[in-house]
Amino acid sequence: MMKSVRIGVIGCGTIGKRVADAVRLQSDMQLVGIGLRTPNPTALSAHLSGIPLFCTDPMRFDRFEKGGLPCAGGLRDLLSQVDVILDCTQAGEGAKRLALYQEMGVKSIFQGGEKHATTGLTFSTFGNFEDAIGRSAVRVGSCNTTGLVRLLSTLDRYWGVKHAEGSLVRCSTDPDKAENGLPNGAAPVFGLSHHGPDAQLVMPTLSIFTQAVAVPMFFSHVQMMSVKLNKPADRDEVMNVLCNTPRILVESHRKVGKTTAQLSHYYAETPRMRGDRQELLLWEESIVVEGDQLHAMTSIDMQCITIPETIDCIRAVMGLETERNRCMWQTDSALGIQKHEVCYQPSSLTV
């Protein structure tokens, strides 16, 4: 039996705590510990669940002692015990540690806040899974990039995508970062937003234009998509493909709600941990197909949509699984978001 891959997580915030929980659900992975600079309530929760804590700043060891949290060591101590480090810290912070990760012989996976140039590869399971196999350092695409690639790569696989345009309505902050209130106004990004070019890092031949605006909310992002296909499509066929594609949900607003707040409250009442929705959701009523033109509205839970891709990335860089669909089945089954097994077979659908 293959030995479990040893995983360390840096950062215990919105993404870090979710990645740590996801790793613990995988049968072929072992969470060695979480590294962080300063103790916080999330770190206490991790400690109470039996996860060792490591201090990444040697000048802050005393804060762990004062907070009553045992510290298992420093950053090098954590790195000496792991095969892969998942750096989930704020944008720009992870890049500062890349040289140390390389020095210690540890593979590293960063989140979308880091620049593409940090690793030279932006990863999405749906778009370029094979490119990450055996890599020493990878950046997982951002929440919006992940959602765009899931949808557009699926449409491209069956109908071909000639051009896509997206208008993104972004949350101005995360729920756990809104202690100072929300701004009273919308903040547009003028011209081309970074989301389209980020998707092209994963799908190089994709023609896409995106624009974005940040608004005073924190439940989930909304993407309004218009896609020109290479050939005409039938709405029923599109619905069938999307409903049978892993990590994509198609739901009626009568069930889950029309607003992002209603949507969040709906999933908060389900057995899912924290009410997280790791799938891309499309409102059924928003899907309009007119010949070769498709329009749809999607919702992205920015706190957790990248978690499955991060787990897939671990398997890719370590060579635990080299076939995309098998990797997705293993990840999704462990996370409890799997669809029927036939949905993970490469040729399960025809249109």
DSSP secondary structure string, 53-122? EEES-GGGHHHHHHTT-----BHHHHHTT-SEEEE--STTHHHHHHHHHHHTT-EEEE-TTS-GGGTS-E
Same fold, 5-141+306-344 and 143-300: no
Burial of 87 (0-12, 13-18, 19+ CB in 10 A): buried
Predicted pLDDT of residue 157? 95
Domain boundaries, the chain: 5-141+306-344, 143-300
Predicted pLDDT of residue 241? 97
Predicted pLDDT of residue 247? 98
Predicted pLDDT of residue 130? 97
Mean pLDDT of the chain: 94
Report the pLDDT averaged over residues 45-57.
94
Report the pLDDT averaged over residues 27-46.
93
Give the pair of three-digit tokens for residue 322: 């080299």
- Alpha-carbon gap, residue 326 to 237, rounded angstroms: 24
Q: What is the pLDDT of residues 68-121, one digit of tens each?
A: 899 999 999 999 999 999 999 999 999 999 999 999 999 999 999 999 999 999
Distances (CA, A) of 18 to 96, 110, 265, 326, 340: 23, 14, 19, 22, 24
The answer on pLDDT for 1 being more than 50 is no
- Alpha-carbon gap, residue 139 to 109, rounded angstroms: 6
- Alpha-carbon gap, residue 22 to 141, rounded angstroms: 18
Q: How many percent of the chain have pLDDT more than 90?
A: 87
The answer on pLDDT for 202 being more than 70 is yes
Mean pLDDT lowest for which of 57-71, 80-94, 175-189, 238-252? 175-189
- Alpha-carbon gap, residue 37 to 34, rounded angstroms: 10
The answer on pLDDT for 174 being more than 60 is yes
Closest alpha carbon to 224 in 283, 291, 136:
283
Report the pLDDT averaged over residues 31-57.
93
Report the pLDDT averaged over residues 234-262.
97
- Alpha-carbon gap, residue 60 to 55, rounded angstroms: 7
Predicted pLDDT of residue 2? 58
- Alpha-carbon gap, residue 229 to 295, rounded angstroms: 11
Q: Which CATH number fits domain 5-141+306-344: 1.20.1200.10, 3.40.50.1970, 3.40.50.300, 3.40.50.720?
A: 3.40.50.720
Give strand pairing partners of 227: 164, 294
**Greater confidence, 223 or 348?**
223
Q: Of 12, 55, 88, 143, which is the active-site residue? A: 143
Tell me, yes or no, if the pTM score tops 0.75.
yes
Would you call 327 a catalytic residue per the annotation? no
Please tell me the class of the 143-300 domain: alpha beta
